[in-house]
Amino acid sequence: MEKCSIVLLLGVLFAIVVGCPAAWAQTFRGIIQGTVTDATGAVLAGAKVTAHNMNTGTERTTVTNSSGSFNLPELAIGTYSLKVGIGNPFLGGGGPRGIQLAAKFSF
């Protein structure tokens, strides 16, 4: 009986050790990324991109790189609108609204 308990305990410990990395892979954050172009399709380097969380009112801003790409990682799950503009003061109109970020689970 004691040997059976030890084997069972070792099996449970093994399952915990093997299963933990899967739990660590879960995230409750999202990412918005893309490329900003003008009407002709030319990329816009240095454009200001702001993501506005429509649920909480928080904003995150970044600037596009030399290839017009932007990346806003680690955003809280929610609904976002984007503003894109160039120059100072910030000139530009609205962007997409209602961007949904949802939970992602990786195993």
CB atoms within 10 A of CB 85: 18
- Nearest CA among 75, 84, 80, 73 for reference residue 48: 84
DSSP H or E stretch at residue 24: helix 2-24
Q: How far apart are the C-alpha atoms of 16 and 22, rounded to whole Å?
A: 10
CATH superfamily of 27-101: Immunoglobulins (2.60.40.10)
**Taking the chain (107 residues) in consecutive chunks of 10 residues, what is each chunk's mean pLDDT?**
56 56 65 87 89 91 94 90 74 56 46
The model scores a pTM over 0.85: no
Say what the pLDDT of residue 71 is: 93
Q: How far apart are the C-alpha atoms of 76 and 43, rounded to whole Å?
A: 28
